[in-house]
């Protein structure tokens, strides 16, 4: 069996992609513990997954210290972090790969133990995520009620993203992806369930979309629209997200992103929402790429539960242009070559997804056919 649609070239902004298989952004919590900078081990991991003309979306990276919610996630707000990421971008470029960085602020999906001065996390409104999280020391604790950002603080949040975008440019990335998905800060503003604001950042769809769109514009000023992507998770459920009626909200957002001519939109398929936390296969949910393709004129990336055959079918059917692989790419550093040669995937080990060192990170085997 062959998967020819996945090996058609594609122009993504200024970049000539040679295939349609991307590395999805994957938090692995293996940055340097003190500086939260990427290190040589991270460069090796990304280099293993780089292919000529292949797109890598590097893991979510906090644009400011308040944007962090987990141990050892990399940042993009200090000189050490710029230098750390430079090792990664150099390693990917040495293999002919293209690498974007995902810009992140977790908002309320944090805990005061991660926050400067032990402050409570910030969000659109003072509504806590239900259930438990882990503190910086690893203890299980309930999510805290966040502090609603004051209207006049929001410009500072946008500036953090702009700084992160500038730092990513300095670190040698080829572009940036704004993390507007999975229940993090930008989605907390987007969705009525987490946004009860009465200022110009809350209420109507236009107002709830404002932060995401103003942030996108700020990043475009740094990078140009053709090197900026935006990730969205309509119909997602991660981190207590979930809009009662997603279509009006997301068609508005996508329409505005189309007017801004961003390089791509990137969906998390609803069936896989929350796959970072647990094995999920949500039933009776729509296909984001099929639903939104008619509303989106540009390059469309989607991720979630694909194998070689379903990825090929999605591209061949015109539902998506690029398929990003997450869990399978963790366990198959040579995933594009495995798909090319129809070699079965090595199963992944969830126990080593987050934290630790080389085990479960850089020690997955490469298949002979891919060498």
Ligand X SMILES: Cc1cc2nc3c(=O)[nH]c(=O)nc-3n(C[C@H](O)[C@H](O)[C@H](O)COP(=O)(O)O)c2cc1C
Tell me whether residue 204 is exposed, middle or buried, using C-beta atoms within 10 angstroms of its C-beta: 0 to 12, 13 to 18, 19 or more. Answer: exposed
Query: Does residue number 234 form part of the binding site for ligand X (CB under 6 A)?
Result: no
Interface pick for ligand X out of 46, 161, 325, 364 (rule CB under 6 A): 325
Instruction: Give min distance, CB of 24 to ligand X, in A.
Output: 3
Q: Is residue 23 close enough to count as binding ligand X by CB under 6 A?
A: no
Among 268, 288, 311, 370, binds ligand X (CB under 6 A): 268
To ligand X, the closest distance from the beta carbon of 200 in angstroms equals 27
DSSP 147-205: EEPPGGGHHHHHHHHHHHHHHHHHTT-SEEEEEE-TTSHHHHHHSTTT----STTSSSH
Looking at the Cβ atoms of 60 and 228, the one nearer to ligand X is: 60
| CB of 106 closer than 8 Å to CB of 64 | no
102 counts as binding ligand X under rule CB under 6 A: yes
| C-alpha R_g of the chain | 19
What is the C-alpha to C-alpha distance for residues 223 and 229, in angstroms, rounded to an integer? 11
Stretch touching ligand X by CB under 6 A, among 22-30, 63-71, 91-99, 110-118: 22-30
Q: Which is nearer to ligand X, 157 or 328 (CB)?
A: 328
- Which residue, among 236, 239, 231, has the nearest Cα to 286 in the 3D structure? 236
Q: Total binding residues for ligand X by CB under 6 A?
A: 24
Among positions 163-202, residues that touch ligand X (CB under 6 A) are 179, 181-182
Q: Does 68 bind ligand X (CB under 6 A)?
A: no
Is residue 336 within the footprint of ligand X (CB under 6 A)?
no
Shortest distance (Å) from residue 302 CB to ligand X: 9
Write down the least CB distance from residue 179 to ligand X, Å.
5
The DSSP bridge partners found for residue 325 are 23
Catalytic pick from 45, 46, 161, 184?
Answer: 184
By CB under 6 A, is residue 303 in contact with ligand X?
yes
> Is 353 among the residues that bind ligand X (CB under 6 A)?
yes
The answer to whether residues 147 and 121 touch, using CB atoms and an 8 Å cutoff, is: yes
- Minimum distance between the CB of residue 25 and ligand X, rounded to whole angstroms? 4
Q: Which helix (H) or strand (E) holds 59?
A: strand 55-62
User: Residue 57 or 148: which CB sits closer to ligand X?
Assistant: 57
Task: Evaluate whether 50 touches 95 at the Cβ level (below 8 Å).
Answer: yes
Structure tokens at 350: 């969830």
Closest Cα to residue 158, out of 218, 103, 208? 218
d(C-alpha 2, C-alpha 342), whole Å? 7
- 354 in active site: no
Which position among 328, 335, 339, 370 is part of the footprint of ligand X (CB under 6 A)?
328
Binding site for ligand X (CB under 6 A): 24-27, 59-60, 102, 179, 181-182, 231, 268, 272, 275-276, 303-306, 325-328, 353
* Residues with catalytic roles: 184
């Amino acid at each position: 069996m062959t998967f020819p649609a996945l090996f058609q070239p594609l122009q993504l902004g200024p970049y000539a992609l040679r295939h349609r298989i991307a590395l999805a952004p994957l938090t692995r919590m293996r940055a340097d513990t003190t500086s939260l900078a990427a290190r040589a081990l991270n460069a090796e991991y990304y280099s293993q997954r780089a292919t000529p003309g292949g797109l890598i979306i590097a893991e979510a990276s906090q644009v400011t210290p308040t944007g962090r919610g987990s141990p050892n996630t990399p940042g993009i707000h200090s000189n050490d972090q710029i230098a750390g990421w430079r090792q990664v971008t150099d390693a990917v470029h040495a293999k002919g790969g293209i690498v974007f960085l995902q810009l992140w602020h977790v908002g309320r999906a944090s805990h005061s133990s991660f926050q400067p001065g032990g402050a409570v996390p910030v969000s659109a409104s003072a509504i806590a995520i239900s259930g438990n999280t882990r503190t910086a020391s690893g203890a299980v604790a309930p999510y805290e009620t966040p502090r609603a950002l004051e209207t006049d603080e929001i410009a500072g949040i946008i500036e953090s993203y702009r700084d992160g975008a500038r730092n990513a440019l300095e670190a040698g990335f080829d572009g940036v992806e704004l993390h507007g998905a999975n229940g993090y800060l930008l989605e907390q503003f987007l969705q009525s369930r987490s946004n009860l604001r009465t200022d110009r950042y809350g209420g109507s769809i236009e107002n709830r979309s404002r932060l995401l769109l103003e942030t996108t514009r700020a990043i475009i000023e740094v990078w140009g629209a053709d090197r900026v992507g935006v990730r969205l998770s309509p119909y997602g459920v991660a981190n207590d997200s979930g809009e009662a009626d997603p279509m009006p909200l997301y068609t508005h957002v996508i329409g505005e992103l189309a007017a801004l001519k961003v390089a791509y939109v990137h969906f998390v398929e609803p069936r896989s929402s929350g796959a970072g936390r647990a094995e999920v296969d949500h039933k009776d949910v729509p296909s984001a790429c099929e639903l939104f393709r008619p509303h989106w004129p540009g390059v469309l990336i989607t991720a979630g539960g694909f194998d070689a055959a379903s990825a090929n079918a999605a591209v061949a059917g015109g539902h998506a242009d690029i398929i990003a692989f997450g869990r399978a790419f963790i366990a198959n550093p040579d995933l594009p070559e495995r798909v090319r040669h129809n070699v079965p995937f090595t199963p992944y080990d969830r126990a080593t997804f987050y934290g630790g060192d080389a085990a479960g990170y850089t020690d997955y085997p490469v298949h002979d056919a891919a060498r």
